[in-house]
Amino acid sequence: MRTRVILDTDPGIDDALAILLLAASKEISLEAITVTHGNTSVDKCLANALRLKDFLGLQGVPVARGASEPLVKSLTVAEETHGDGGLGYAKLPDATSSPSPTNAIDTIIELVHKYPHEITILAIGPLTNIALAIHKDPSIIKLINRVVVMGGSVHYPGNMTPDSEYNVYCDPEAFDIVLRAGFDFTLVPLDVTYKCLFTKKHIEKLAGAKPEIIKFIDDSTRFYMEFHDEYQSIDGCAINDPLAAAILIRPELVTLKEYFMTIELKGEFTRAKTSVDFYNVYKKAPNAKVAMEVDVEAFMDFLIERVKTL
């Protein structure tokens, strides 16, 4: 049976790679793409999601506009990371598809009621839409099968501040609401995603894929690689979001460990830091399944293999 997924996203270069993977995977029934602020403005992210919908022939998938800013803090964008258009050097034709007439929050609520206990929410941007949806209709919390989030870090340094990962930093209050909601909650943190460095070698391995797919991946990730080199002295680019998508299809790619997790909302320097209680100091039941190890080669091979089927 196919896994019914709502993808909440801020495309975004690595978001785009996650959408390519989902589009190439028959195990997934992509019920909706809901768009949030994050890597760039919500309207630029929406335009990119619609472009990708057309580019990948996802005609039956509604794309819904979500939150334009976080719950409490001011808006943060990352155009130095993803480019001012959000897809690096990649240029896709303007979309012919239109956004759904239903906004992201109501799209989530309606789909969860339509498919009780079947929906997996894959969230690869700030969690504002998810937090707003469960605030508007708390009854969906018990009806959502699983929430998988790309975000946070455990031991690995933050990529926004020394202690915070970008998606969590963009809306820490939303992350806290979702973390406390009581979901079957899986976190894919920087600790594993920064082991998944996509390099020029992987571009070469795409030989055999459609030329337009290769060009899109090459043009988008080239910008992303330049960012990682300049700001983090990394060869290649951390493809965070496709790993979170991949574990819906190949759960064996990562090792999940259950922990009681917290997020700091007040620290002058540590705001948006995610922490796990390794030694069960708080004597609290686990609230998160955290991906702590990844089979990098198997993931990269899987991603490249699936992209070649597009």
Is residue 171 a contact residue for Ca ion (CB under 5 A)? no
Instruction: Evaluate whether 272 touches 297 at the Cβ level (below 8 Å).
Output: no
Q: Residue 71 belongs to what H/E stretch?
A: none
Is residue 12 a contact residue for Ca ion (CB under 5 A)? yes
Instruction: Evaluate whether 119 touches 4 at the Cβ level (below 8 Å).
Output: yes
Give the residue, chosen from 39, 40, 120, 262, that forms a contact with ligand RIB under the rule CB under 6 A: 39
Is 75 in a helix, a strand, or coil? coil
Least CB distance from residue 188 to ligand RIB, whole Å? Answer: 9
Query: Which CB atom, from 12 or from 66, has the smaller least distance to ligand RIB?
Result: 12
Instruction: Evaluate whether 71 touches 105 at the Cβ level (below 8 Å).
Output: no
Residue range at the interface with ligand RIB (CB under 6 A); choices 7-15, 56-64, 91-99, 179-187: 7-15
Neighbours of 271 (CB within 10 A): 17
Least CB distance from residue 11 to ligand RIB, whole Å? Answer: 8
Question: What's phi and psi for 255, nearest 5 deg?
Answer: -110, 120
Is residue 150 a contact residue for ligand RIB (CB under 6 A)? yes
- Which one of Ca ion, ligand RIB, none interacts with residue 3, CB within 5 to 8 A by kind? none
| Size of site (CB under 5 A) for Ca ion | 6
Instruction: Evaluate whether 19 touches 56 at the Cβ level (below 8 Å).
Output: yes
**C-alpha R_g of the chain:** 18
Is residue 15 a contact residue for Ca ion (CB under 5 A)? yes
Residue 308's Cα: distance from chain center in Å?
Answer: 21
Is residue 38 a contact residue for ligand RIB (CB under 6 A)? yes
Least CB distance from residue 97 to Ca ion, whole Å? Answer: 21
Is residue 191 a contact residue for Ca ion (CB under 5 A)? no
Is residue 167 a contact residue for ligand RIB (CB under 6 A)? yes
Instruction: Evaluate whether 8 touches 66 at the Cβ level (below 8 Å).
Output: yes
Query: Which CB atom, from 70 or from 140, has the smaller least distance to ligand RIB?
Result: 70
Give the residue, chosen from 124, 206, 237, 272, that forms a contact with ligand RIB under the rule CB under 6 A: 124
- Which one of Ca ion, ligand RIB, none interacts with residue 176, CB within 5 to 8 A by kind? none
Is residue 8 a contact residue for Ca ion (CB under 5 A)? no
Give the residue, chosen from 124, 239, 247, 291, that forms a contact with Ca ion under the rule CB under 5 A: 124
- Which one of ligand RIB, Ca ion, none interacts with residue 8, CB within 5 to 8 A by kind? none
Least CB distance from residue 151 to ligand RIB, whole Å? Answer: 7
Q: What is the DSSP string of 238-290?
A: E-HHHHHHHHHH-GGGEEEEEE-EEE-SS-TTTTTBEEE-TT-TT-----EEE
Strand ranges, E, within the chain = 3-9, 28-35, 63-65, 119-123, 144-150, 185-188, 197-198, 237-238, 254-259, 261-263, 274-276, 288-294
Is residue 241 a contact residue for ligand RIB (CB under 6 A)? yes
Neighbours of 243 (CB within 10 A): 28
The residue number with the shortest CB distance to ligand RIB is 166
Binding residues for ligand RIB, rule: CB under 6 A, are 10, 12, 14-15, 38-39, 124-125, 150, 159, 165-167, 240-241
